[in-house]
Amino acid sequence: MSLQEKINNKTACIGVVGLGYVGLPIAVEFARKGFKTIGIDLSQKKVESLNQGENYILDIKEHEFQEAYNNGFRAESNYDRIGECDIIYICVPTPFSANKEPDISYITSAATSIQPHLRKGQLVILKSTTFPNTTEGYVMPILDKSGLKVGEDYFLAFSPERIDPGNKKWNTSNTPIVVGGVTDACTEAACLANLQIISQVHRVSSPKVAEMEKLLENIFRSVNIALVNELALLCDRMGGINMWEVVEAAATKPFGFMPFFPGPGIGGHCILIDPYYLAWQAREYDFQTKFITLAAETNENMPFYVRDMIWREIAKMPVTFENAKILVLGVAFKQDVDDIRHSPALRIIQLLKKEGAKNIQYCDPYVPEVHDEGIDMVASELTPELISLADLVIITTAHSDFDYEMIAANAKRIVDTRNATKHVKNYRDKISLLGDGKQ
């Protein structure tokens, strides 16, 4: 039976390598559609949780996960069953080194583990965000060691993830995705597979185009966020100009403008990393992505600016920086999610600790504890009493669950890096807002 026939009659077995924010939603969707689905993750903790029917991804609705579990979705911590799979998604991390160079070892390791089990008719789809030529230049040579010919014996494509954690409108199933196969047959196979769980696909001519397209998406955000961050710093320097008001005014233009807002920095897995992936590859061609790299550096400098705001506020108080009680509200990298990867809040905490701050607590309804980036902390319960005891409250993530009126009423001083207190009409004299032209 051909792969197309297996997909159409739902007898194709799905394998998903990497069961994090990208891989698990894909696995759940296929299982819910009635496909036999096997997840693979080297984390024994994740595997045990999933096999006990426990979901650890906030964006996946509990009833959807349970439907997938009841349909037989199970996880493994090795590749022993990968040969059963007709379609294999690779959804592993792509971090960078301390020198900001790409680390695609998770991708090549996954491909190396798949290769001994590769058989005729299988389709491999790489989803991990990476630099152009990863699919054809790194994954394909590993899989070709099987002796099978791509496009004839097996199929290979790149189809980047499009996940926006916390987005209530756009999810795995209704967000269009891009597909680029090594050959036309690879593209068609990958499109057919994706259309089982996704409403719309856009074909491109090659994996390289799809790889570059994904970088463009994320670098577009990085550059525009850097622009408003830099203007926010300028507004603070000039005085009398509120950057938040400026952006809202510009957003009334119905064409040619898309609003982005300043903040304490950028986080998540992709936007911080992707400019450096492209910059690294560009150097191979004696090309410097100066504009893109400068934008990334601008965003990375924002936690330092927030640290300086905190310094200035504490300097006005009858307490030393070392002994000041600092309460950080929100450590997730964005609103209403539990993802702390590259969170600017954690970077700010690191900087404060490095400068000698000893009394730092945090509140985050989505992140009960943090053991990352050299930080070991447990969340405190957000209460009026806790707020009133703090010398300074720092809003680093604008979670919807936070009661900003209550926070403002009980706080001594607030540093707001997200304009979360926008609708708080009273207590404005307590609030120091990043980019409001009053710093």
Query: Is 154 found in the same domain as 37?
Result: yes
What's the confidence (pLDDT) of residue 165?
83
Contact between 82 and 113 (Cβ < 8 Å): yes
| 157 and 277 in a common domain | no
Are the beta carbons of 198 and 175 closer than 8 angstroms?
yes
Question: In the beta sheet, which residues pair with residue 415?
Answer: 394, 432
**Domain containing 102: what range?**
3-205
Question: Is 227 inside a domain boundary?
Answer: no
**pLDDT, tens digit, 9 for 90 and up, residues 355-404:** 999 999 999 999 999 998 789 999 999 999 999 999 999 999 999 999 99
**220 occurs within a structural domain:** no
Q: Is residue 60 part of a domain?
A: yes
**Catalytic site positions:** 270
Average pLDDT over residues 91-116: 95
* 148/246 same-domain check: no
Q: Are residue 331 and residue 413 in the same domain, yes or no?
A: yes
Whether residue 213 lies inside any domain: the answer is no
Look at the chain and report how many structural domains it folds into: 2
Torsion of CA 176, 182, 185, 190, to 10 degrees: -30
178/310 same-domain check: no
Is the pLDDT at 98 greater than 90, yes or no?
no
- Based on the domain organization, do 314 and 423 belong to the same domain? yes
pLDDT tens-digit series, residues 331-350: 999 999 999 999 999 999 99
Question: What b-and-e string marks burial along 156-193, b requiring 16 or more CB atoms within 10 Å of the CB?
Answer: bbbbbbbbebbeeeebbeebebbbbbbbebbbbbbbbb
Structure confidence at residue 55 as a pLDDT band (50, 70, 90):
very high
Are residues 192 and 306 located together in one domain of the fold?
A: no
Mean pLDDT of 259-285: 95
Q: Does one domain contain both 188 and 325? A: no
pLDDT grade, residue 195 (50/70/90)?
Answer: very high
pLDDT at residue 317, rounded to an integer: 96
Handedness of CA 340, 343, 345, 349 (dihedral sign): positive
Given this model, what pLDDT does residue 374 score? Answer: 85
Taking Cα atoms as reference points, which of 220, 303, 237 lies closest to residue 264?
303
- 140, 251: one domain: no
- Give the mean model confidence (pLDDT) for residues 303-318: 97
Mean pLDDT of 118-144: 98
pTM: predicted TM-score of the whole model, two decimal places: 0.94
pLDDT score recorded for residue 375: 93
pLDDT score of 200 more than 80 = yes
- Compute the average pLDDT of residues 200-224: 98
Q: Which residues contact 206 (CB under 8 A, 6 or more apart)?
A: 136, 180, 181, 182
Q: CA 141 → CA 9, 119, 134, 401, 427, distances in Å? A: 32, 15, 10, 49, 62
CATH number at residue 376: 3.40.50.720
What's the pLDDT at 269?
Answer: 84
Q: Which amino acid would we find at residue 244?
A: W
Q: Are residues 141 and 261 in the same domain?
A: no
Tell me: do 178 and 272 sit in the same domain.
no
Structure tokens, 119: 């058989």
What is the per-residue pLDDT across 25-51, written as a single tens digit (0 to 9) for each?
A: 999 999 999 999 999 999 999 999 999
| pLDDT given for residue 372 in this prediction | 84
Share of the chain above pLDDT 90, in %: 94
Q: 32 and 160 in one domain?
A: yes
